């Protein structure tokens, strides 16, 4: 009942926000490009398995199955895949030698101690294969302070399909920075999660208005399976 009330309230807010955005010229489309890559953000055990402060919702029922479809399409067609994870060497918030800025004053950093590799290992159900890069970040965005943009440019990538957690933080900031760095940004609807009720719905609505095209997983899979052929045809 609570979730139904929340969804009804969000729909009302989205309807009114859509009217405002469209009147003011927002909600434009960026579209798929010619060379995609999949960027999977923080789908590691600390976020995907039960019992961690960072554990997110809808992982087993929605996100993992959607990711498996995307990975198959990428692997079948030779598209780059980047698995992004996060862990910290300094987990004492009173230690001034932090490897995460001052973010440790806001979140339970001890939950992703780099000493426990299981915490930050990519979920085995979507485990990387040979040739796929596993990149560790320290900040919310996968682009901030990392070589990700250079890696993608060297591969000729112009479009990033972003998945993972959380919609409110690491996924959102990755999308914002990806667009700012000149990549076509696609948020894969069913493959983005969070731990807070309503967070995914609101953030995807707002992201779609300003920072990325939110597309269903099936449309993204169809694109991944056809983009090489379409480029040959053109």
Write out the catalytic residue numbers: 170
Contact 3, 197 (CB under 8 A): yes
* Cα 43 from Cα 83, distance rounded (Å): 8
The helix (H) or strand (E) run that includes residue 36 is strand 36-41
Contact 109, 103 (CB under 8 A): yes
Contact 204, 187 (CB under 8 A): yes
The helix (H) or strand (E) run that includes residue 37 is strand 36-41
List residues bridging with 192 in a β-sheet.
164
Contact 154, 148 (CB under 8 A): no
What is the separation, in whole angstroms, between the first and last Cα of the chain? 51
* Cα 172 from Cα 203, distance rounded (Å): 8
Instruction: Tell me 89's DSSP state.
Output: S
């Amino acid at each position: 009942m609570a979730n139904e009330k929340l969804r009804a309230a969000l729909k009302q807010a989205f309807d009114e926000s859509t009217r405002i955005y469209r009147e003011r010229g927002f909600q434009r489309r960026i579209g798929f490009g010619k060379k995609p890559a999949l960027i999977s953000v923080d789908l590691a055990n600390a976020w995907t398995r039960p019992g961690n402060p960072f554990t997110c919702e809808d992982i087993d029922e929605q996100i993992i199955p959607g990711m498996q479809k995307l990975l198959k399409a990428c692997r079948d067609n030779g598209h780059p895949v980047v698995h992004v994870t996060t862990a910290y060497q300094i987990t004492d918030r009173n230690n001034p030698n932090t490897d995460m800025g001052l973010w440790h004053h806001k979140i339970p950093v001890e939950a992703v101690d780099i000493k426990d590799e299981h915490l930050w290992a990519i979920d085995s159900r979507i485990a990387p294969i040979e040739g796929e890069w596993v990149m560790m970040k320290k900040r919310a965005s996968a682009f901030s302070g990392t070589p990700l943009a250079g890696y993608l440019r060297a591969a000729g990538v112009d479009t990033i399909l972003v998945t993972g957690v959380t919609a409110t933080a690491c996924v959102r900031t990755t999308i914002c920075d990806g667009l700012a760095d000149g990549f076509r940004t696609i948020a894969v609807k069913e493959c983005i999660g969070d731990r807070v009720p309503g967070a995914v719905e609101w953030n995807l609505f707002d992201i779609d208005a300003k920072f990325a095209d939110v597309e269903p997983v099936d449309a993204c899979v169809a694109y991944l399976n056809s983009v090489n052929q379409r480029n040959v045809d053109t």
